[in-house]
């Protein structure tokens, strides 16, 4: 299954939840925020959202800034 993450195409397992995908990136401990198809997915819903072919994700975090 193909999804687009932070502007890059990626192949992932079918039937993965958003949480499965984030765990595969080892990001679960980070203070991150996730948008799926331009909608924020609250942290408590990560395990309930099943990713679909063609989904577009934005995964962000805090970096240094003024």
- Sites of contact with another protein (CB under 8 A): 5-8, 10, 25-27, 30-35, 38, 40-43, 58-66
- Partners of 41 in the β-ladder: none
Cβ closer to another protein: 13 or 35? 35
Q: How far is the CB of 29 from another protein (least distance, A)?
A: 8
Rounded to whole angstroms, the Cα distance separating 43 from 8 reads 22
Q: How far is the CB of 60 from another protein (least distance, A)?
A: 5
Cβ closer to another protein: 4 or 17? 4
Indicate the burial class of 33 (C-beta count within 10 angstroms; 0-12, 13-18, 19 or more): middle
């Amino acid at each position: 299954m193909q999804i687009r993450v932070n502007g890059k195409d990626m192949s992932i397992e079918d039937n993965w939840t958003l949480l499965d995908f984030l765990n595969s990136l080892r990001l679960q401990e980070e203070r991150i925020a996730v948008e799926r198809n331009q909608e924020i997915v609250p942290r408590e819903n990560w395990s309930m959202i099943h990713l679909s072919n063609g989904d577009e994700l934005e995964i962000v975090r805090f970096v240094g800034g003024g």
